[in-house]
Amino acid sequence: MTEPLHIVGGGMAGSEAAWQAANAGIPVILHEMRPKVATFAHRTGDLAEMVCSNSFRSDDDEQNAVGLLHWEMRAANGLIMQTADRHRLPAGGALAVDRDPFAADVTAQLKAHPNVSVSYEEVTELPETGNWIFATGPLTSPALAEAISAVTGTGALAFFDAIAPIVYADSIDMSKAWLQSRYDKGETEEERTAYINCPMTKDQHEAFIDALLAADKAEFHEGETAGYFDGCLPIEVMAERGRETLRHGPMKPVGLTNPHDPQTKPYAVVQLRRDNKLGTLYNIVGFQTKMKYGAQTDVFRMIPGLENARFARLGGIHRNTFLNSPTLLDEQMRLKARPNIRFAGQVTGVEGYVESAAMGLLAGRLAAAEILGDSVPAVPQTTAMGALVTHITGGAEAKTFQPMNVNFGLFPPLDGVRGGRRGRKDRYKGYTDRAKEDWQAWLDGQKTATA
């Protein structure tokens, strides 16, 4: 009888790992502490619940590394991608989903799989025997974090993820705001109008920044430090870095024309992205925050079009833990101190839903192959998967290791391709063409992969 694989954590990474291993014929026990043990950010007991944005970001598999990762996961029969495609919402070239039906669908598919059983309890130790994948994500329980620290001999690094607020669509003043995706991007009219845009004059922008800087912020608990990941900075932290920082980030006004006043270019623009299939909820793009709730409503209602906004959810903040993976994990994502254990997902030091699910996909396949006695060649670094796993298991500098999104900077250079901004389009297409060929070849060589 085939040994079971235990997977701890039912988020993006754990769900994907379970699916991949189960499809390879491995009996999987998926351990999820929710809903018995709650977290700050989760609302349900569903697997793969989306607690921050509802977007998997760009779906462009020719010019974007995230879109390439989508392609690779689809090619590998990825659960997260195939489910996301079924619950897709218009998002102007991005892959956004209706979050609650998406999580319910992932949960139903895993529970219906003959090789998967779900056990609802908290795991607080690192077992010395058996086959395990720990994919506990950014909200690893304190007890388990202590156990990991005890085994690895090192403290987990920490930073804070801030959650963006969600606004009821019918409370947005569309006499001031308008529907448009940046640069009118998208194949359909629905895609080209996937965002609500709120324009600001220079005076409005300056007043907004003043209020943002003066607003009451959440206090940190004793022993916590504010080491933020640059890809998910709270807006008030960005504002503290310079008054123009937001205007060159989430509030940039480029690629947009205000139909209410087409001759006047907005000084800044706040974008809201559709958050559910019904179109009744919109999240404020890039507006992660640690402001206190009362301050949030006051500050966000300064945005033109949101003066009377009603909030389905205000922003929040939570601690995120991750391993110093270049020091602790081998190239097969196994814990060097205890090789019967693999880690996957955000706890390994990747950032984002897509990257977390991708590392779950790899961990599930690698664990299944090991249990079945198959040898698996290294994932080519020329692929998005390979670039990420190489980064976290040795490609990054351990002393300065920080969470990383997938990006073309992690890929080996291309020969004979022009550098710089002018050569970027051809270079990115070269990266993705090479990656697709190499990833498909790697998949074709896996005995354990099933359709």
pLDDT at 419 over 90: no
Residue 263 CB partners (closer than 8 Å, separation 6+) = none
pLDDT at 38 over 70: no
Q: In this structure, how many other beta carbons lie within 10 angstroms of the beta carbon of residue 364?
A: 33
Query: pTM of the prediction?
Result: 0.78
Q: What is the pLDDT of residue 51?
A: 82
Q: Which of 41-45, 166-170, 263-267 has the lowest mean pLDDT?
A: 41-45
Q: Binding site membership for FAD: which residues?
A: 9-14
Kindly indicate the confidence band of residue 163, based on its pLDDT and cuts at 50, 70 and 90.
confident
pLDDT at 400 over 50: yes
Q: What is the pLDDT of residue 219?
A: 73
Chain-centroid distance, C-alpha 274: 17
Q: What is the pLDDT of residue 143?
A: 87
CA distances from 269 to 253, 257, 299 (A): 5, 10, 15
Kindly indicate the confidence band of residue 451, based on its pLDDT and cuts at 50, 70 and 90.
very low
Of 223 and 152, the one with more pLDDT: 152
Average pLDDT value for the chain: 90
In the structure, how many helices (H) and strands (E) does the chain have? 13, 17
The pLDDT tens digits of the residues spanning 336-378 come to 999 999 999 999 989 889 999 999 999 999 999 999 999 889 9
Kindly indicate the confidence band of residue 75, based on its pLDDT and cuts at 50, 70 and 90.
very high
Kindly indicate the confidence band of residue 223, based on its pLDDT and cuts at 50, 70 and 90.
very low
Share of the chain above pLDDT 70, in %: 91
The pLDDT tens digits of the residues spanning 224-282 come to 555 566 566 889 989 999 999 999 999 999 999 999 999 999 999 999 998 877 788 89
Task: Report CA dihedral (443, 444, 446, 450) to the nearest 10 degrees.
Answer: 80
CA distances from 212 to 53, 206, 224, 230, 418 (A): 21, 10, 23, 19, 42
Q: What is the pLDDT of residue 161?
A: 63
Q: Binding site membership: which residues?
A: 9-14
Q: What is the pLDDT of residue 421?
A: 61
Name the residue type at position 384. Answer: A
Of 115 and 141, the one with more pLDDT: 115
- What mean pLDDT do residues 59-72 have? 97
pLDDT at 448 over 60: no
Q: Which of 52-66, 165-179, 194-208, 215-229 has the lowest mean pLDDT?
A: 215-229
